[in-house]
Structure 1
C-alpha cells in the first residue's frame, strides 16, 4: 500500500473504474495476481479449519481435557507451525486446555465475556474472528470450531490463534517478490491485516491520521463497501522518490463469516530505480568501511547532540550518505528517527517489522544496541537491483541509552530463498522438539538432542538448545561446547549469534540469520534458524542452510 502522511499533499486524483467497466479485452493489471492471492488465502484458511475440525472431533470423542485431545491439538498446530496457541473452551467460556504448555497458566480462566467467545458459543459453527488483542501480546485472528460430544451435546469449541499477516504472507509473498505488484489486505472496518510494506499493518484506513485526505477516504470507502473493483490514483513509487500513477484492483477473500479485501497495486509509470553502482568491493572490506562509517556517525551524534545529528542523518544530500551507504537511526523502542530516503517512516514504530523470512530485524538491532552494538543479517529489497530481495548485513551502535545509529551493505551473492515449505518444516521441527522438552523435562530432552544416533540429530537439521544466559545445553555435532557459555559468540562478520537467538526466544520465538558450521559440508554457511522457548530458562532451535 505504501501510504504515508504526506500522501494527502501528493495525491492527484482517484478515478473510479468499477468492476466490469474496463474493456473485456484488457482486464485490469494485476487481475491474475489478485485471483491467485484470493485463492491462496482461502486455501490457507480452509486448511486451518480442517485441522481445527479434526481436533474438535477427537476432543468430542475423548473429552475436552483428554490426553488424546491434547495430542490432536498439538498435531493441528504442527500442521500450521506459524500458529501461536490453541485454546479449548467449555460452553460456559472456561479455558479447559491451552497448547503449548507455556500457555498452561490460562487454564481455568473465564473468558465468557469476550465477544469472540460469546459468538462461538452462540453460533456453534466454524468461525474466523476479526483481529483482536490476544493474551499473547499481539493482535491476532482466531479460527474456532465447535466441539460436540458423542451424543450430539455441545461441549464448547477449539480456537487456533495466529497473526493474520503470517497466514496471508504464505499465499501472497511469492506473488510480489521481484514483481511490479504490491498487495495489501484489510478488514471491512479498515484494519490493515497484511501489507508488503509491513509498517502499514495494524493501521486503520479510516482513523489513522496518515489517511485523512478526502480522495483517500473515498477510495477506501469503496474498497470496504464493494466486494471487488478497481481504482487509479497518484502515489509514491517504491523508492519514495516521486509521485507516480498506480492502478489497483481488489477482490474478497474469507471463509466462515469473515471478509478480507485483497488489494493489488501496480505502478503504471516507468520505474526510475537507482542505477547499480557497478562492481562492489569484497564484503570484508565493505564491512570494515560500514563499521567505520557507523562509528563516525555515533561520535558525531554524541558531539553535536540529537537534534543536529538527526538533521544531518536525514539529509539525502548530506555527508552521511555515501554511495550505497547511509545512516539510519532509531529510538530504543523501535521508533524511526532517521531514514534519509524513507522519511515518511520517521516517528513510526517498526519494532514488529519482519523481513520475508520472518526475521524481526529492527527488534534485533535494538537488542544489539542495548548490548553495546553489533551486526545482524536480514533480507531487504534493493532499489538498485529492481527491488530484488537480497541479504543485507547491518551494523548498529548506541549513541546513548535512548537511541542508536546504523548502516548496512548488501551481499547479493548469498542466496536467501527460503520458501514457505522450508520455513514450515523448520518451525515444525523446532516446535516438536519444544513439545518433547516440555513433556519430558530438560535433562531427558537434552540427552535426546545430543544423541547422534537419535531422531533429533539429523545432519544439518539437528536440534540445539541453550539457556537464556548463553550456556550450551545441546549441540550434537560440537559436544565440546556443552556447558560452555557462548553468549558473546560472533560469526565471521561479527553477528552475535547466541544473543540474537536469545532475543528471539525471549520474544516468544522467531527467526534469526547466522553464519555457522554445517556438519553436512564441514564448512560455514548462511543459516536461517528458528528458536522457540521451552520456558523462561532455556530454548531449543534448529536451522536450514542457504546452500542446502
Structure 2
C-alpha cells in the first residue's frame, strides 16, 4: 500500500493537470476588439490601403452593384481585413455600404462633421469627383479608448453614381490642428460674436464710452493689428479707427478699395438691414498698411452709428478644397462627356452636380445663361449687365475672372435658407475659351470659413 503522502501528492498533480487541460480546451476565443488591437499594432500602410481600394474597385466592376454593396457591407466578408474595411457612398453623400456602422446605410452624411469640425465626407467625395484621391480628417479610434486620431482616407470613383474608399489611423489629433486662432476670431461665427459683444458693451455703457474703448489700442476691443472694432456713423464718417487715428472724422462714403468696391457704402446698407458680412481690400496695419483682402462683419448699435470688425485673409483660405474640386469636377465632366451632356447634367435640380446648397452655374462670355438649375426660365437669356443686391455688376465680374484664368468673386444675393441678402463667394473657371462655369457658397455665422 502506498504511503498516504504519496497518494495526496498524486491527487494534487492530477488536479493541476485537469485544470490546465480544461483551460486549454475551454479558453474563450479572442474578442473582436482584441483581434483589431492585435492587427492595429502593425497597422496597414498607405500603399496597402490604396491597393485594398483598387482591389475593391475591380470587384465592383466585375459584379453587379447590388452584389458588390452587399459584400462591402458584410462585416465578415472579404473586404474587412484587420484595420481596413470598405465604405461606399453615392455622389449625394448618402452611405450605401458600411460594414462597421451599418446603421449609417441610407443616411446622408455630406455635412456631417468630424471631431475637428471638418466636413470629412464632403472632402472625401470631392476627391472622388476628381476620380480618386486622399483626404485627411479626425475620427474616433475604437481600439484606442475612442480617442480622436488623425485618419487618412483614400477614395476612388466606381462610376458616375457612386464611389468607395478606406482609411488608416496615423496619430493623435490635437486642437492645435483646428482652425482656431489664439489672437482673434477664426470663423465667421466667432467674428460675428466678437462684434455682437462690442455692440452689447456699447449699448450698456453708452456711445461716448464705447467710442473711447474702440479707439484704445490697449483696450479690450483690439486683439492685435489685424483684429479690432471700428465704428462709423450712417453718413460714412469714421468714429473709431484704433490704428488710423488720423482718419477719425474722415468721410469714407466715397472711398473705394483698389478693386473699385465702395465698401463703406455697402457696409452702411448691411448695417441698416441689421448686419452682414463684407469682403473687400483694406490697408493692413501688420503689413505697413498695404491693402489686403479682408472679411468683416458689421451691425448697427443704434440709429446713429454702426460698428464692425474684420480679419485679413486670402483667396486660398476662402475658396476651400471642396468648392474648388466641385467646380473642377464639373469641368472634367465636360471634357469627358461633351458640352451638351454636361449642360444637361448641370441644369438638373437633382443631378450629380447638386450637393447640398452647391450647384453649378454656367454662362458663355457674352453673358448668356447656359446652366442655372433653379432658374430654367433664364436659360438662353443674356445676364451680363445684371447687378447684385448692392448694385455691383457681379455677372460681368464672374465672366472677367473666368476669362483671365479663373478664381474667386464675392457678391450679394438672396440666401434661400434665411430669406435675407447675404454675401456669396464663388469660384469660377474657364472651360474652353468660350464659356465659364462655377459654384458658390453663402457666408453665414455657421459657415465653415477659414479666416486668419
TM bracket (short chain): 0.3 to 0.5
Structure having greater relative contact order (Cα 8 Å, sep ≥ 6) = 1
Larger Rg belongs to = 2
TM-score normalised per structure 2: 0.39
